[in-house]
Amino acid sequence: MSSVTKRLLKELQDIRKDLTDELLSLGPVDDEDLLQWHAVLRGPQETPYQGGLFRLRIDIPEEYPIKPPTLTFATPVCHPNVHFETGEICLDILKSQWSPAWTLTSTCLAVHVLLANPEPSSPLNCDAANLLRCGDFVGYSSLVSMYTHIFAGQIQ
């Protein structure tokens, strides 16, 4: 058994006790391929994402945990650090700040924190970032709430 398989089976075993109100599900897409996972995040409370359910695609490299997984939103998300069309996520732990100490659970929870704490200085969605940079929090919240209602009211 490869080291990546051992690590993923251990993480899978730990997930049952790690699921939270924020991370509703996390696991392999099917039992035949441990390198393809999905997760469902609940929109953070007291944010424009509240009430939404957001599906993530997780592609795990053969070199995991030395190399980070690739997480993308399968559910369209309006957020400064998420590309609206591709679901790409701009988050330092998914790139330069990755550490093998991160698990798939902790990585998904970091994405959940990012939803509530956008960083408009490194945008993948310039429209959303510009609203925040200009201080238009009402406009930003309205836009995010609309997209959350349209796309994240149920799992896509």
**Prior bond of 118 cis (ω within 30°):** no
Listed residue (57, 51, 84) closest to 70, CA to CA = 57
The token pair that represents 66 in the structure block: 């030395």
Of 146, 81, 151, the C-alpha closest to 114 is: 81
CA–CA dist 10, 4 (Å, integer): 10
Yes or no: say if 144 and 48 are a contact pair by the CB < 8 Å rule: yes
Contact 77, 54 (CB under 8 A): yes
Catalytic residue, chosen from 90, 108, 126, 134, is 90
DSSP, res 19: -
90 counts as catalytic = yes
Query: Which residues carry out catalysis?
Result: 90
